[in-house]
C-alpha cells in the first residue's frame, strides 16, 4: 500500500454480478480494505486502472471478451499490480490457476458460494487475509507494507495436538524434511523441489492453497521434478525421493511407526487461520521426529509456522528460513526469525543445497 494511504484499494474483476457484489461486501467489512471499483471484464477493468491504479486486483479466470490469464499477462508486462485469482472449485480451473500463478498472480481464493452460510462464515476471513497479504507482495519493486493489524484471536496448534514433550528423540536411519509456505510459495517451492535429486530425503509440504488446487499443484510439480510429488493421503509413508503436499482443507501431521514416518490427514479447526496449518505440521515433526527432522519456512504472510519451527528447533531439528530479498512476502519467515526459530536465513536458491547438507549422514 502506498505510504500515506490508510486503506488497501481493491479492484474486483468478475463477469458474475452476484460474485462482484458478494466479494465487495466481504472486503468492505474490513476497515483496512476499500473497493475502488468492480468490472465485468478486463476491458472495463482497464478503464478503471487508467484513472486509479489499485493496490490489489481480484481476477476471475473465465470472462467474456478476454480471459483472466491473458489479461494477467498483459497487466504484469505493462502495469504490474498484485493479482489474486478468484475461481470456482473445479479440477480444470485448478490447472488454469497454476498457469496464473506462473504468470505472476500472487495467490488464489475460491469464489464465495453465495447462500452457503457456513462457507461464507469461514471463507470471508480467508479472503480478506489473502487480499491484504497480496498488498504486501513484491511484483516488480518493493511496496511499502501497510501497518500490521492484529485481528481476532487465532487458534494455535494446541487445537489439534498437544505441545512436544521435550523428550529427546532417538535417531533413525532416515531424515524427514518439513516445509511450510504461503503467498508466493508455489513458485518458490517449484524452484526448491526442482533442484533436488531423485534420492532426496522424504519431504512433507504445507502450502496454503484451497482444496483441490493442491492436487493439481502436486501433479504439476511431479511432471517437472526428479523427486516424486503427490497430494498426501491418510497413511502415506514419508520415504526417500518422495514429496507429499498437504491437501487443501485438511491438516497434515507427521507420525512415526517404528523407524518409519507416515502422515495423518485429518479435519480440525483453522489454526493460525489456516487449514492446512504449517504450525500443525511443524509441531507434529517436533513431537515425533525431533533431531531426525529439518524444518524450512518460506515466503508468506502472517505467522503460521513460526511457533512450530521454534518447537522443531528446540526438539533438535535443523531449521531454515527464507530471506527477505527472495521472499514475495516476508511475513512468515520474518516472524520465525524474530522468535529465534531459524538456525540459518537463506536465499531461495540456497535452500535445496542446505537441506541436502543438513540431511546427509
Cα 175 from Cα 357, distance rounded (Å): 11
Active site residue 304: yes
Select from 339, 329, 338 the least CA-distant residue to 145: 329
Would you give the distance in Å from CA 228 to the centre of its chain? 20
pLDDT tier at 155 (50, 70, 90 boundaries)? Answer: low
The catalytic residue among 60, 107, 303, 304 is 304
4 vs 180: CA distance, rounded Å: 33
Superfamily of domain 171-359: Methylesterase CheB, C-terminal domain (3.40.50.180)
Delimit the domains of the chain by residue range: 8-136, 171-359
pLDDT at 98: 84
- Read off the pLDDT of residues 91-141 as tens digits, 9 standing for 90 and up: 556 778 788 888 899 998 888 765 545 555 667 888 998 999 999 998 863
Is residue 327 among the annotated active site residues? no
First to last CA, the chain: 47
**What is the distance between the alpha carbons of residues 169 and 191, in angstroms, rounded to a whole number?**
31
User: Pick the catalytic residue: 30, 41, 94, 208?
Assistant: 208
Nearest CA among 284, 263, 253, 281 for reference residue 169: 284
Catalytic status, residue 236? no
Pairwise CA distance, residues 200 & 227, whole Å? 7
Which residue is catalytic, options 41, 87, 107, 182? 182
In this chain, the answer to whether the domains covering 8-136 and 171-359 adopt an identical fold is: yes
* Domain 8-136 belongs in CATH node 3.40.1190.20: no
Secondary structure of residue 219 in the 3-state scheme: helix
- pTM of structure: 0.84
Task: Judge if the upstream peptide bond of residue 276 is cis by omega within 30 degrees of 0.
Answer: yes
Instruction: State the virtual CA torsion across 31, 37, 41, 45 in degrees, nearest 10.
Output: -110
236-245 residue pLDDT tens: 999 999 999 9
One-letter-per-residue 3-state SS of 267-296: CCCCECCECCCHHHHHHHHHHHCHHHEEEE
pLDDT in tens, 312-355: 999 999 999 999 999 999 999 999 999 999 999 999 999 999 99
Amino acid at each position: 500500500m502506498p505510504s500515506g494511504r490508510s486503506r488497501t484499494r481493491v479492484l474486483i474483476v468478475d463477469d458474475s454480478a452476484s460474485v462482484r457484489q458478494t466479494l465487495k461486501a466481504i472486503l468492505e467489512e474490513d476497515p483496512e480494505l476499500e473497493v475502488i471499483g468492480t468490472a465485468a471484464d478486463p476491458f472495463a477493468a482497464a478503464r478503471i486502472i487508467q484513472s486509479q491504479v489499485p493496490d490489489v486486483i481480484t481476477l476471475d479466470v473465465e470472462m467474456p471478451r478476454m480471459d483472466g490469464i491473458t489479461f494477467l499477462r498483459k497487466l504484469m508486462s505493462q502495469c504490474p499490480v498484485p493479482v489474486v485469482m478468484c475461481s470456482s472449485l473445479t479440477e480444470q480451473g485448478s490447472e488454469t490457476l497454476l498457469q496464473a500463478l506462473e504468470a505472476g498472480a500472487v495467490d488464489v481464493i475460491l469464489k464465495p458460494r453465495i447462500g452457503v452460510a457456513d462457507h461464507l462464515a469461514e471463507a470471508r476471513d480467508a479472503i480478506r487475509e489473502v487480499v491484504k497479504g497480496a498488498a504486501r507482495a513484491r511484483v516488480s519493486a518493493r511496496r511499502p507494507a501497510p501497518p500490521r493489524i492484529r485481528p481476532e484471536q487465532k487458534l494455535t496448534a494446541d487445537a489439534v495436538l498437544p505441545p512436544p514433550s521435550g523428550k529427546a528423540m532417538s535417531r533413525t536411519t532416515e531424515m524427514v524434511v518439513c516445509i511450510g509456505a504461503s503467498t508466493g510459495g508455489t513458485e518458490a517451492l517449484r524452484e526448491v523441489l526442482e533442484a533436488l535429486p531423485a534420492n532426496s530425503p522424504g519431504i512433507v509440504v504445507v502450502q496454503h492453497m484451497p482444496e483441490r488446487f493442491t492436487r493439481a499443484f502436486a501433479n504439476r510439480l511431479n511432471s517437472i521434478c526428479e523427486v516424486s510429488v503427490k497430494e498426501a493421503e491418510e497413511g502415506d509413508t514419508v520415504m526417500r525421493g518422495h514429496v507429499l503436499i498437504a491437501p487443501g482443507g485438511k491438516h497434515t501431521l507427521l507420525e512415526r511407526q517404528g523407524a518409519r514416518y507416515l502422515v495423518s490427514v485429518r479435519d480440525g479447526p483453522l489454526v493460525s487461520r489456516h487449514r492446512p496449518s504449517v504450525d500443525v505440521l511443524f509441531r507434529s515433526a517436533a513431537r515425533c521426529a525431533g533431531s531426525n527432522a529439518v524444518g524450512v519456512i518460506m515466503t508468506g504472510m502472517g505467522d503460521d509456522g513460526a511457533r512450530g519451527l521454534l518447537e522443531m528447533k528446540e526438539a533438535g531439528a535443523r531449521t531454515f528460513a527464507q530471506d527477505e530479498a527472495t521472499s514475495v512476502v516476508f511475513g512468515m519467515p520474518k516472524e520465525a526469525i524474530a522468535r529465534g526459530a531459524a538456525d540459518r536465513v537463506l536465499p531461495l536458491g540456497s535452500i535445496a543445497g542446505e537441506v541436502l547438507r543438513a540431511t546427509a549422514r
